[in-house]
Amino acid sequence: MSDASPVIVWFRRDLRLADNPALSEALASGEPVLPVYVFDEEGEGDSPDGAASKWWLHHSLASLDESLKGLGSRLVLLRGSSKSALVELCREMGARAVFWNRRYEPAVVERDTEIKKSLVDCGVQARSFNGSLMQSPLSVANKSGTPFKVFTPFWKHIQNLSTRTPLAKPDALTTPKSLPKGESLESFELLPRLSWADGFNEEWIPGEKGAEKALSLFAKGGAAKYAKDRDTPSVRGVSRLSPHLHFGEISPNQIWHALDRKKHEPYLRQIAWREFAHHLLFHFKDTPSEPLRPEFAAFPWTRNPGWLKAWQTGQTGYPIVDAGMRELWQTGWMHNRVRMIASSFLVKHLLQPWQDGAAWFWDTLVDADLANNTMGWQWVAGCGADAAPYFRIFNPITQGERFDGDGTYTRRWMPELARLPNKYLFKPWEAPAALLEKAGVDLGGNYPMPIVDHGKARKAALDAYAEMRDAR
- What pLDDT is stored for residue 47 in this prediction? 63
Question: Are 432 and 324 in a shared domain?
Answer: yes
Question: Are 318 and 448 in a shared domain?
Answer: yes
Query: Measured between alpha carbons, how far is 344 from 352 in angstroms, rounded to an integer?
Result: 10
Question: Are 348 and 219 in a shared domain?
Answer: no
Number of domains in the chain: 3
User: In this model, does residue 471 exceed pLDDT 90?
Assistant: no
| Mean predicted confidence (pLDDT) in 46-67 | 92
- What pLDDT is stored for residue 390 in this prediction? 79
Question: Are 93 and 232 in a shared domain?
Answer: no
pLDDT digits (tens, 9 = 90+) for 345-360: 999 999 999 999 999 9
3-class DSSP state for residue 305?
Answer: helix
User: In this model, does residue 373 exceed pLDDT 90?
Assistant: yes
CATH number at 160 reads: 1.25.40.80
Question: Are 319 and 456 in a shared domain?
Answer: yes
- What pLDDT is stored for residue 361 in this prediction? 97
For 203, counting Cβ atoms within 10 Å of its Cβ (0-12 exposed, 13-18 middle, 19+ buried), the class is middle
Query: Measured between alpha carbons, how far is 323 from 315 in angstroms, rounded to an integer?
Result: 9
Question: Are 325 and 455 in a shared domain?
Answer: yes
Domain boundary among 283, 310, 333: 283
Range of the domain at 265: 133-164+211-283
Domain boundary among 233, 251, 283: 283
- What pLDDT is stored for residue 43 in this prediction? 64
Q: Is residue 39 in some structural domain?
A: yes
- What pLDDT is stored for residue 1 in this prediction? 58
User: In this model, does residue 45 exceed pLDDT 60?
Assistant: no
- What pLDDT is stored for residue 63 in this prediction? 98
Residue 250 binned pLDDT confidence (cut-offs 50, 70, 90): very high
Query: Measured between alpha carbons, how far is 388 from 1 in angstroms, rounded to an integer?
Result: 56
Question: Are 32 and 81 in a shared domain?
Answer: yes
- What pLDDT is stored for residue 121 in this prediction? 96
Residue 196 binned pLDDT confidence (cut-offs 50, 70, 90): confident
Q: Is residue 147 in some structural domain?
A: yes
Query: Measured between alpha carbons, how far is 25 from 9 in angstroms, rounded to an integer?
Result: 9
Question: Are 311 and 235 in a shared domain?
Answer: no
- What pLDDT is stored for residue 42 in this prediction? 67
3-class DSSP state for residue 79?
Answer: strand
Q: Is residue 305 in some structural domain?
A: yes
Q: Is residue 182 in some structural domain?
A: no
Question: Are 148 and 115 in a shared domain?
Answer: no
Q: Is residue 188 in some structural domain?
A: no
Question: Are 444 and 416 in a shared domain?
Answer: yes
Question: Are 307 and 456 in a shared domain?
Answer: yes
CATH number at 384 reads: 1.10.579.10
Question: Are 271 and 315 in a shared domain?
Answer: no
- What pLDDT is stored for residue 417 in this prediction? 98
Domain boundary among 131, 151, 184: 131
| Mean predicted confidence (pLDDT) in 178-182 | 90
Residue 404 contacts residue 91 (beta carbons within 8 Å): no
Query: Measured between alpha carbons, how far is 79 from 40 in angstroms, rounded to an integer?
Result: 6
**Quick one: DSSP state of residue 429?**
G
